[in-house]
Amino acid sequence: MTWQIAQTDDLTTCFALRHEVFVLEQDVPVAEEQDALDATATHVLATEGDTPLGTARIVFTEGTAKVGRVCVVQTARGTGLGAALIKACIAIAGDTPGIQQVKLGAQLHALGFYEKLGFTAYGPVYDDAGIDHRDMKLELS
């Protein structure tokens, strides 16, 4: 697979990917999938040619880049695209003045995936849209 990952203003495509993964596959309520943070977030889109494969968003606040709404379509899972998408978000955060750490809320089954990328889990398990999550962070140097 040869993919491209870049910041995008194409929210229609990002929302369609998120709908496919979160709403249709994981039964996240439509009303919870999109929120007011989408309007100010930095959105990242992964494509292969003209085919969208994954997306994530980054919300910047007070020295922190919070990565969220990370998803990859079924056909691209297991290819390394998810890791590449997270690394792209970390790079964007690292290039943003004043940002010292990257945080995210990880679904429990994905903790090991994020740990391999340098994240550390902290705090209790919590419910987000009916799915157990745990917060994770990565300090930028």
Domain locations in the chain as residue ranges = 4-139
For the beta carbon of residue 39, count every other beta carbon within 10 angstroms: 8
Superfamily, domain 4-139: Gcn5-related N-acetyltransferase (GNAT) (3.40.630.30)
List all residues 6 or more positions away from 41 whose beta carbon is below 8 Å from its beta carbon. 57, 58, 59
User: Tens place of pLDDT for every residue, the chain, 141 residues?
Assistant: 689 999 999 999 999 999 999 999 999 998 889 999 999 999 999 999 999 999 999 999 999 999 999 999 999 999 999 999 999 999 999 999 999 999 999 999 999 999 999 999 999 999 998 889 999 999 997
Structure-block tokens of residue 138: 């990565």
pTM of the model: 0.94
- Give whole-number Cα distances, 133 to 16, 33, 93, 109, in Å: 23, 15, 22, 9
The size of the chain, in residues, is 141
